[in-house]
Structure 1
């Protein structure tokens, strides 16, 4: 009887812990800034998309909280895309940290929809290239829930007119541009 009671308590504690993690994950997600996320505007040539991007703006999220000087580098590796994201705490000249992940293309017709994993095989997030410049000089990246958005550029500090045009494009895609955090680059 005691062993059965201990097992019941252990099972209850485990269920509470899992439930707590579920509610924490849901509670720490950013709010929706676009309830009607559009399909990607055009196909992506992966060879042209690879390389280094500078983050110009993002919808703030817990895994990038307070980071500046943020970059993302994409490289083809064993039929997958290797991603290295890095950023600095306390401004663009702060201590740099990085995270590596992998992505696979899930829409081979356009190459604009990927699944990304930074935390091993159990976490897979959507990564949609919603739009990009014809010369691959800028990119707007989101996902279907409308909670995450990134504005990327090949230049760390593009001209103010180019940034304004990108923010207007963000609005045209249905996002609240004023909900974005501008990323300071060094």
Structure 2
């Protein structure tokens, strides 16, 4: 039942995030321009995120991306709660504009997306990815959602501050970020 609630909330959040406007006169965030989706695929740890309903119980999250032969990207999001339970949501990402790989539509595999095909999709904008594809910033155009991703569960403080500065320059509120609970703190954080 918890998985169903997670999937429903995830879809609702992505739809609302994809439909909301960024306000009159405001500029959309700048994206990474060209992203090599082959290099982007694989496992990413979520280091931090802006608060969102569908991840409210997540202490640790990770995303797994795999490039498919048709050019779409398979998505598997995993969330570990403080109780140690893993929740999963899977879906597919497709480029929004042919030839522009930094703006994707994500659709999760659930009854809602089957009920409203083409409507139940959310913006996944890759704002920044480093040259080695070790860290990334992902958000959406209205700046409600932001994820700081890394190939490792932790990064050096200087690298972290650099990513935060990039997010602030794009207009994201980094003061509200929720940070990943460290493995060593998981047991102590249990309610």
| TM-score scaled by length of structure 1 | 0.76
CA deviation vs aligned residue, 1:20-60 (integer Å, no higher than 9, x gap): xxxxx69xx68999964313133101101000000011011
* Matched pairs, number: 158
Contact 1:105–1:115, Cα closer than 8 Å, also in 2 = yes
Matched, 1:37 2:50: no
Change (3 A) 1:54 1:32: farther
Alpha-carbon distance change, 170 to 32 in structure 1, aligned in 2, over 3 angstroms: farther
1:133-167 deviation digits (Å, cap 9, x = unpaired): 11111111111122111110111111122112111
The question of 1:146 aligning with 2:146 is answered no
For residues 134 and 77 of structure 1, the distance between their equivalents in structure 2, rounded to whole angstroms, comes to 23
Residue number in structure 1 paired with 2:92: 102
Tell me, what secondary structure is at the counterpart of 1:136?
coil
Gaps (5+ residues) in structure 1?
A: 1-24
The whole-number CA distance in structure 1 between the counterparts of 2:21 and 2:95 is 25
Does 2:83 correspond to 1:83? no
CA distance in 2, matches of 1:56, 1:84: 17
Aligned partners of 1:173 and 1:74: how far apart in 2? 25
Which structure has the larger Rg? Answer: 1
Segments of structure 2 that go 5 or more residues without pairing to the other structure are 1-11, 184-191
Matched-pair contact (CA < 8 Å) for 1:86–1:99: yes
Match of 2:41 among 37, 41, 50: 50
| Distance verdict in 2 for CA 1:113–1:163, change over 3 Å | same
